[in-house]
Amino acid sequence: MDADSLLLSLELASGSGQGLSPDRRASLLTSLTLVKRDYRFLGDPSHEYEHTELQTVNDGDKVFEEEVVVQIKEETRLVSIIDQIDKEVAVVPRGVLFKTPFGPVHVNRTFEGLSLSEAKKLSSYFHFREPVELKNKTLLEKADLDPSLDFLDSLEHDIPKGSWSVQMERGNALVVLRSLLWPGLTFYHAPRTKNCGYVYMGTGEKNIDLPFML
Amino acid sequence: MENSTSLKQDKGNQQTGEEGRPWEEMTVASSQDPEPTSSKTSESESALESGPQSRSSPPWSRPSRGSTPPDEGTGPGASPRPPLPQEPSSTPPPPALARQVLEAPWQSDRTASVIPEAETPHSDHLEQPPDKGESSPYQTCQSKRNGFQQPQQTNGRLYGPKDVSCNHAEQKKLRFDLLQETDSNSQDDPGDAEPGAWKAAPSLTETAIQSAKAYLLQSSSKSGLNLYDHLSNMLSKILDERPKNAVDIIENISQDVKMAHFSKKLDTLQNENEMLPTYDIAEKQKALFLQGNLERADQELEDEIAENSLPNVMESAFYFDQAGVGLGTDETYRICLALKQLTDTHPIQRCRFWGKIFGLEMNYIVAEVEFREGEDEEEMEEEDVIEQRDNGDSEGEGDEDELPRSSYKAPQAIPKEECRTGANKYVYFVCNEPGRPWVKLPPVTPAQIVIARKIKKFFTGHLDHPIVSYPLFPGNESNYLRAQIARISAGTHVSPLGFYQFGEEEGKEEEEVEGRREYFEENPDFEGIQVIDMVESLSNWVHHVQRILPQGRCNWFNPVQKIEEEEEEDDEEKEEENEEPDYIEEVGPPLLTPISEDLDIQNIPPWTTRLSSNVIPQYAIAVLRSNLWPGAYAFCNGKKFENLYIGWGHKYSPDSYTPPVPPPVCQEYPSGPEITEMDDPSVEEEQAFRAAQEAAVLLDEEDEDTEQDEDEEEDYD
């Protein structure tokens, strides 16, 4: 997210309870770097974690397990978590991107926003990552798709089913998708306008208990 | 031509639906006939697109002049037209000249009916302009054309009939040439050879042009549009809006123009349907804003009470915003109004915005409320009635039939705490959205808390949703919500040290557990603590809500004594009761213990403090965040403090949730040696046994024999 959309994103995602204080907002805007995150990352990117794991070491004929201490910097952890979050729950509405037959994907400048009825359906939102499920679709399903717009995975086939919460806020003027797999990921979209985006504010932990909670 | 064909192919690939097929036919046809004189409209189409940019020609503008005014006049504002009429002023001489030049031959064209068939649609279009004021659009189109290049330039390029780059543009240019020719013939004769050559061909090309145009003007049987109009609309829209890289989004523009045609008619219907839900909620929220008539006569009293009970939500929200926590100004204000509505309709002593709990379909806004004295007695009476009714029913059933009664005595349910004490100290109201009615949550029972500790479920947003879980939660979502609220309050409601103090004990200093210090009040002498101190040391914060014991209550309830009281009548069963294990009294930390005493969550401290601003520390506030209940925050600016919860309503645990194991299978009967299964004796054992038995019998017989012998011997003697 760049400085232009930061304020709007924060304002529209504010219904999720966590935002940035004016202090932080200002610092983020000016520096555009990610602020130190929550405790569980200790807040110090250069901290080195020590992770002890058992590794099987082949020593000639002998195979034995040895405790190897692997050092990981918090920076690395942070980067990997961000990447994981992006891969799993980054969302774009249908129609924002379109694919040309030559391959490149472009931002659709004529995107006018989803209509109200479309905005409430999970099928109008896609994962913003390389599609993995498209090839598994049956021919019948593929026939209904528009190859220029439907080239990404839709959210409605996410496992477990129900791992997204769709809500209309501000009296139908804003649709908010909250991920239950990564609590803290909020996607917002104002229907019939071009505003959309997602923000992650959380502890960087996946909710593995999700199947029990649904 | 290469560019246009590739463009065509792209379009063929990307278009879907009805427009795909006829267009594809045209592509096929066009690729086969590359000659400029062939009347293939596909090329004309592509030519039109590339036309305006590279080879704008005045002749093109003429048909557009014929067709665009009606469309532009009726077009739903797809292309903004206001700034355009100013363009003519920039290039006055060429347009004026060209216009005159072209208008004259145009008129002559009209009158000279070269091809009667093509003429009629042609003239139709020409007739429309006078009605709609064609001069200005024509003028603007014209100026646009001339704004691009000089007409002479196009002339120079177009004289070659072999110019195969775009066919239709060529045809139009040809027409222009023709007209220019007629003009030039009347005026000058600079180059005799070429005009002469041209004169020979006009009728053929004109025929071709006219038939091409006629084809374009054909209405589609499905939609009633025709290609000619559509193309001209599209191009005029593009020229009006001048988007960047128009060639890349040309299909979308085409779709938009088509949609603009139809949406008009269905507009009213669709809009009505879609706006209803928005209107609904807006109506409800409008009610919040209307203060309306105060129903009570005593307005002064009302105001006083309102001042006391309505919390200053906006102020707290401001402080929380400093900490980076909150719901946004809009929503917070609506919540403030909704709380006001709550206090107006219920007799509330004190009210507080507790927080927001997210649900799958809807969220909950929670308000913590303390009723005025005596207002909640109705609730208790109702519950007593219900209990009596239940007892009556069960007795009735027992009398009808003598069913075997099980001797199983369920462990006695621990009674819930009275209102205004312990976990039920406050009453909670929830609503899904500000503007919707507030619903009161039922009081929480210890059993609900105990089981709520064992399950982890998302809230859906509907209070009557059942909770399907193991172990079975006694209640539906409203009970689960209430239990979680109780747990969160007990775990995370903190205040600065000294803000609350223990009140004068009201003579309840007995050993009774219920007399434990739970009565506290605000300390009027509280002077505030430095914000820095609050951040640095956790001992400056204390819990002011009683901790919930493992039993599920705040005050220990000893089930044994109750049982003894009940069982005074039944002497038989007293013995059984003695087998119950002794209950160890559960004790929790006393009220107002500092949070520095809280246990860590494995290696993570349970609380995190922060100064809201590092750059302006003199006005910063201390912010406390709970790591045990993610989403629970507290702030203090020295004198004022507030607690808030915004989250999903679940506790944090570093281990993932594991559902509890089912209890072990019950014993059906006591097992003793007499019914314990034993192995059947093996053959050797049996033989040994038999041998032993026989030996014993023999011994007896011998004894008898010996006795007999002895007797006999005695006889013999």
**Beta carbons of B449 and B423 less than 8 angstroms apart:** yes
Nearest in space to B592 (alpha carbons), one of B515, B643, B520: B520
The answer to whether ipTM exceeds 0.90 is no
List the single residue in A100, A101, A116 with the smallest CB-CB distance to B274: A116
**Beta carbons of A150 and A127 less than 8 angstroms apart:** no
User: Average pLDDT of A95-110?
Assistant: 85
Measured distance CA(A198)–CA(A128) in Å, rounded: 11
Nearest chain B residue to A106 by CA: give it: B248
Calculate the alpha carbon distances from A214 to A162, A185, B460, B481 in Å: 7, 18, 9, 15
Could you tell me if B318 lies within 8 Å of chain A, comparing CB atoms?
A: no
Confidence of residue B597 (pLDDT cuts 50, 70, 90): confident
Alpha helices in chain A (DSSP H): 3-12, 22-31, 74-89, 116-119, 139-144, 210-213
The residue of A7, A108, A170, A201 whose CB has the most chain B CBs within 10 angstroms, and thus the best one to mutate to test that interface, is A170
| Upper half-sphere CA count for residue B309 (Cβ side, 13 Å) | 26
At residue A108, does pLDDT exceed 80?
Answer: yes
CB contact under 8 A, A18 and B646: yes
The residue of B281, B286, B361, B615 whose CB has the most chain A CBs within 10 angstroms, and thus the best one to mutate to test that interface, is B281
At residue B56, does pLDDT exceed 70?
Answer: no
In this structure, the number of other CB atoms found within 10 A of the CB of residue B673 comes to 6
List the single residue in B281, B604, B615 with the smallest CB-CB distance to A172: B281
Nearest chain A residue to B328 by CA: give it: A14
Which pLDDT belongs to residue B276?
A: 62
Could you tell me if B659 lies within 8 Å of chain A, comparing CB atoms?
A: yes
At residue B662, does pLDDT exceed 80?
Answer: yes
CB contact under 8 A, B252 and A171: no
At residue B605, does pLDDT exceed 70?
Answer: yes
Highest mean pLDDT: which range of A5-14, B254-263, B405-414: B254-263
Nearest chain B residue to A177 by CA: give it: B360
CB contact under 8 A, B456 and A213: yes
Which pLDDT belongs to residue B439?
A: 92
Q: B426-436: per-residue pLDDT in tens?
A: 889 999 888 88
Which pLDDT belongs to residue B482?
A: 93
At residue B548, does pLDDT exceed 70?
Answer: yes
Phi, psi of B7 (to 5 degrees): -60, -45
* Contacts B330 to A, Cβ<8 Å: 170
At residue B91, does pLDDT exceed 70?
Answer: no
The 3-class SS string of B335-398 reads HHHHHHHHHHHCCEEEEEEEEEECCCCCCEEEEEEEECCCCCHHHHHHHHHHHHHHHHHHHHHH
Which pLDDT belongs to residue B130?
A: 42
Measured distance CA(B644)–CA(A17) in Å, rounded: 10
Q: B108-131: per-residue pLDDT in tens?
A: 444 444 444 444 444 444 444 444
**Beta carbons of A12 and A188 less than 8 angstroms apart:** yes
CA distance, residue B17 to nearest chain A CA (Å): 11
Q: B169-192: per-residue pLDDT in tens?
A: 555 555 555 455 444 444 444 444
At residue B678, does pLDDT exceed 70?
Answer: yes
* Contacts A8 to B, Cβ<8 Å: none
Nearest in space to B362 (alpha carbons), one of B474, B468, B481: B481
* Contacts A15 to B, Cβ<8 Å: 327-328, 331
In this structure, what DSSP letter does residue B604 have?
B
Measured distance CA(A168)–CA(A175) in Å, rounded: 4
Which pLDDT belongs to residue B366?
A: 93
**Higher pLDDT, residue B72 or B281:** B281
Which pLDDT belongs to residue B486?
A: 92
Confidence of residue B355 (pLDDT cuts 50, 70, 90): very high
Q: A155-210: per-residue pLDDT in tens?
A: 888 888 888 999 888 777 889 999 999 988 889 898 888 888 888 888 888 888 88
The residue of B256, B458, B480 whose CB has the most chain A CBs within 10 angstroms, and thus the best one to mutate to test that interface, is B458
Measured distance CA(B520)–CA(B593) in Å, rounded: 13
List the single residue in A19, A106, A173 with the smallest CB-CB distance to B324: A19
**Beta carbons of B556 and B548 less than 8 angstroms apart:** no
* Contacts A171 to B, Cβ<8 Å: 278, 281-282, 285
Nearest chain B residue to A172 by CA: give it: B278
Confidence of residue B364 (pLDDT cuts 50, 70, 90): very high
CB contact under 8 A, B328 and A15: yes
Which pLDDT belongs to residue A13?
A: 73
pTM for the predicted model, two decimal places: 0.60
CB contact under 8 A, A14 and B458: no
CA distance, residue B411 to nearest chain A CA (Å): 28
List the single residue in A109, A172, A203 with the smallest CB-CB distance to B630: A203
Q: B496-515: per-residue pLDDT in tens?
A: 888 888 765 544 443 333 43
Which pLDDT belongs to residue B430?
A: 93
* Contacts B323 to A, Cβ<8 Å: 21
Could you tell me if B116 lies within 8 Å of chain A, comparing CB atoms?
A: no
Q: B436-445: per-residue pLDDT in tens?
A: 889 999 988 8
* Contacts B359 to A, Cβ<8 Å: 165
Measured distance CA(B715)–CA(B717) in Å, rounded: 5
Could you tell me if B148 lies within 8 Å of chain A, comparing CB atoms?
A: no
Q: How many CB pairs under 8 A join A and B?
A: 108
Which pLDDT belongs to residue B428?
A: 92
In this structure, the number of other CB atoms found within 10 A of the CB of residue A162 comes to 16
What DSSP line would sit under B413-431, residue for residue?
PPPPPPTTSGGGSSEEEEE
| Least-confidence region, from B73-82, B334-343, B474-483, B684-693 | B73-82
At residue B340, does pLDDT exceed 90?
Answer: no
Q: B447-464: per-residue pLDDT in tens?
A: 888 899 988 889 998 999
**Beta carbons of A177 and A187 less than 8 angstroms apart:** yes
List the single residue in B282, B323, B358 with the smallest CB-CB distance to A21: B323
Confidence of residue B264 (pLDDT cuts 50, 70, 90): low
Contacting B residues, span 240-259, partner chain A, CB-CB under 8 Å: 243, 248-249, 252-253, 256
Average pLDDT, chain B: 67
Which pLDDT belongs to residue B507?
A: 44
Could you tell me if B363 lies within 8 Å of chain A, comparing CB atoms?
A: yes
Which pLDDT belongs to residue B323?
A: 82
At residue B200, does pLDDT exceed 90?
Answer: no
List the single residue in A162, A173, A178 with the smallest CB-CB distance to B358: A178
CB contact under 8 A, A109 and B249: yes
* Contacts B650 to A, Cβ<8 Å: 213
Confidence of residue B477 (pLDDT cuts 50, 70, 90): very high
Nearest chain B residue to A208 by CA: give it: B656
Strands B520-522 and B364-371: unpaired
Confidence of residue B145 (pLDDT cuts 50, 70, 90): very low
List the single residue in A167, A170, A213 with the smallest CB-CB distance to B363: A167
Measured distance CA(A11)–CA(A9) in Å, rounded: 5
Q: Which residue has the tokens 């223990």?
A: B502
CB contact under 8 A, A171 and B16: no
Confidence of residue A4 (pLDDT cuts 50, 70, 90): low
Q: B24-54: per-residue pLDDT in tens?
A: 444 444 444 444 444 444 444 444 444 444 4
CA distance, residue A202 to nearest chain B CA (Å): 9
Which pLDDT belongs to residue B356?
A: 92
CB contact under 8 A, A101 and B10: yes
Confidence of residue B470 (pLDDT cuts 50, 70, 90): confident
Measured distance CA(B363)–CA(A15) in Å, rounded: 10
* Contacts B13 to A, Cβ<8 Å: 101
CA distance, residue B31 to nearest chain A CA (Å): 21
Residues of A with CB under 8 A from a CB of B: 11, 14-24, 39-40, 100-101, 106, 108-110, 115-117, 146, 148, 162, 165-173, 178, 180, 183, 203, 208-209, 212-214
CB contact under 8 A, B326 and A212: no
Q: A50-60: per-residue pLDDT in tens?
A: 443 344 444 44
At residue B252, does pLDDT exceed 80?
Answer: yes
List the single residue in A20, A116, A212 with the smallest CB-CB distance to B659: A212
Could you tell me if B434 lies within 8 Å of chain A, comparing CB atoms?
A: no
Nearest chain B residue to A118 by CA: give it: B274
**Higher pLDDT, residue A122 or B708:** A122
Which pLDDT belongs to residue B710?
A: 60
Measured distance CA(B457)–CA(A88) in Å, rounded: 22
**Higher pLDDT, residue B387 or B620:** B620
| b/e burial code for range A116-133 (CB count within 10 A of at least 16 → b) | bebbbebebbbbbeeeee
